[in-house]
Amino acid sequence: MKGQYDVLSRINERFSGMSKSHKAIANYISEHYDQAVFMTAAKLGETLGISESTVVRFASGIGYEGYPEFQKALAECVKGKLSAVQKMDAKYGKSSQSEILTSVLNADIEKLQHTIENLDPAAFESAITSILEADTIYIMGLRSNEPLAAFLHFYLNMIRGSVIMLNTTSVTETFEQMLHIGEKDCFIGISFPRYSMRTLKAMEFANDRNAKVIAITDSVNSPMSLYSSCNLLARSDMVSIVDSLVAPLSVINALVVALCLRCPQEVKHNLEMLEEAWNNYQVYLNDEINFIDDEPMLNYSLRKE
């Protein structure tokens, strides 16, 4: 049975060798498979401004016997999404609100514990070094991963300069924003199921330009690991239609803390300049912020129990 990951795997493996029209189909399918599943080859071709025969050849080109078999694989994507709703109802349908709260929180605790047990310390150290040494850092996380990318961008921008968050619906525009990426730069791609084709293509581009590529994803089997030099793995699955981002956010939080501890004077200097700017331009009232005082900037215990 050909599920969504199988479809995306076939597309990912063959994307670089595709013609321009086939790449257009691949991008549309990856981002709109729940709409494409209801389209005939003719309708899909009309939507993209290409011929029906080109769509049929695309299906054959990624290993399906024809468009009907390809469309059946897309149907599995939608079926999987509906299955998630059914699983959620089976798990929580007869639970009280407080029981749902406890169950979800316990599930997140389990994901955190799994992440602690499986995160590679060497990969984490490598990520810290790459981020500190990079001339420019590019961050990309789309759809449900966008809040993670925004959180990381916000704090990296406080720690150091030259941090760019990529956020566009166009692969072409993504490449335009990454035009100057090179071997002295670092790219951080954040993607969890369902994986983003745009993020994967951006990571491939960064890798081709010899930039350091860091993947924050859920598994060594994630397609995001194809182009990364180090992988930070965090458990994210949940019996729900909502992605659990607790463990990924904790990994990102750990990155920020570790970076602050590696260059505390720079961080303090940046925060002092930021507070001075706030005061000078009256962005905040003085009694509303207190970033810098005699207390340690980071209140994390690093002692082993």
Domain end position, chosen among 45, 73, 88: 88
Residue 97 included in any domain: no
Long-range CB contacts for residues 249-252, cutoff 8 Å, separation at least 24? 249/148, 249/151, 250/112, 250/115, 251/115, 251/119, 251/216, 252/148, 252/151, 252/152, 252/216
Residue 112 included in any domain: no
Q: Is residue 282 predicted with pLDDT exceeding 80?
A: no
Instruction: Check whether residue 128 and residue 38 sit in a common domain.
Output: no
Q: Is residue 93 predicted with pLDDT exceeding 80?
A: no
What residue has token string 């769509």? 55
User: Three-state SS for 264?
Assistant: helix
* pTM, to two decimals: 0.61
Count of structural domains, the chain: 3
Residue 291 included in any domain: yes
Instruction: Check whether residue 68 and residue 140 sit in a common domain.
Output: no
Domain end position, chosen among 46, 67, 88: 88
Residue 233: beta bridge partners?
A: 217
Q: Which of 44-48, 102-106, 251-255, 288-292 has the lowest mean pLDDT?
A: 288-292
Residue 20 included in any domain: yes
Q: What is the CATH number of the domain that holds 56?
A: 1.10.10.10
Instruction: Check whether residue 141 and residue 231 sit in a common domain.
Output: yes
Instruction: Check whether residue 55 and residue 146 sit in a common domain.
Output: no
Q: Which residue has the higher pLDDT, 175 or 297?
A: 175
Instruction: Check whether residue 125 and residue 60 sit in a common domain.
Output: no
Domain end position, chosen among 88, 106, 134: 88
Predicted confidence band of residue 106 (pLDDT cuts 50, 70, 90): confident
Whether the ω angle into residue 194 lies within 30 degrees of 0, i.e. cis, is yes
Domain range for 279 is 264-305
- Closest by Cα among 232, 190, 233, 188 to 211: 188
Where is 102: in which H helix or E strand?
A: helix 97-118
Residue 139 included in any domain: yes
Instruction: Check whether residue 239 and residue 173 sit in a common domain.
Output: yes
Instruction: Check whether residue 126 and residue 247 sit in a common domain.
Output: yes
Residues contacting residue 233 through CB under 8 Å, at least 6 positions apart: 115, 118, 119, 120, 217, 218, 219, 220
Mean pLDDT in residue range 64-85:
74
Instruction: Check whether residue 127 and residue 217 sit in a common domain.
Output: yes
For the chain, give the longest Cα–Cα distance: 70
Q: Is residue 1 predicted with pLDDT exceeding 50?
A: no
Work out the mean pLDDT of the chain and round it to a whole number: 79
Residue 204 included in any domain: yes
Instruction: Check whether residue 231 and residue 221 sit in a common domain.
Output: yes
- Closest by Cα among 194, 170, 191 to 78: 194
Q: What is the CATH number of the domain that holds 180?
A: 3.40.50.10490
